[in-house]
Structure 1
């Protein structure tokens, strides 16, 4: 399997990084991994991503390329929920926990989830 890092450029492209932020590379890798594991076909993924981009454009996204991986992540969340691999509620619970963990983590340190990041019920 080919590993792409945030500082590599696509073959034949300019020297600009493929991903502007590490989370973009992680979202990209998650899609590839879930596809490899058979959660969805590539045409299903393309349809899910196109639906997210179309919806964003309808909401006024100027489509300058800077929001592409936000659409990628939204499509990933939608297809994971649609396939029953997780629920929208579970994804929201983890999003909140990550936000809480990030808020308490000093800059430059790894973010680690702890039971209290999920709220009073842990």
Structure 2
């Protein structure tokens, strides 16, 4: 779908629909990363749909869907691993580095990975 098609679909939304699409910024980031990786040819939409569907159908999924983007992220991480881009350890190490960077960043300043006070802690992968 291109931008013009997206805008025309948005124009068809019912009146009064002004709730945010994403509850938290990380959800928008996960969505954007998925679209970008698909655009780069890392996986097809059918591969993505299969991966996301498998996650959403896992036992323990919330019936109201509030955990949808957690499943989205899990599906993306599994595809990255299956495609040999980043294993679970790589993803976990990078997530830990971002967490440390967030805690080390003064309030109101942008969180940058360079702010990680322990840049080599737990990293052994190629993505950090």
Pairwise TM-score range, normalised by the shorter structure? 0.7 to 0.9
Deviation at 1:62, TM superposition (A): 2.3
1:25 aligns with 2:42: no
CA contact 2:93–2:122 (8 Å) conserved in 1: no
| CA RMSD after TM alignment | 2.2
1:111 aligns with 2:89: no
Task: Output one character per residue of 1:37-73: Cα deviation in whole Å (capped at 9) or x when no partner.
Answer: 1000000000100111112xx1x23232221111111
CA contact 2:56–2:71 (8 Å) conserved in 1: yes
Alignment of 1:1-122 (within 5 A): 2=3, 11=10, 12-13=13-14, 14-55=17-58, 58=59, 60-114=60-114, 116-119=118-121
Displacement over 6 Å in runs of 4+: none
Q: TM-score with structure 1 length normalisation?
A: 0.80
* C-alpha distance in 2 between matches for 1:120 and 1:54: 32
Q: TM-score with structure 2 length normalisation?
A: 0.77
Q: Secondary structure at the match of 1:99?
A: helix
State the structure with more CA Rg: 2
* C-alpha distance in 1 between matches for 2:57 and 2:41: 25
CA contact 1:100–1:117 (8 Å) conserved in 2: no
Which runs of 5 or more structure 1 residues have no equivalent in the other structure?
3-9
* C-alpha distance in 2 between matches for 1:95 and 1:84: 18
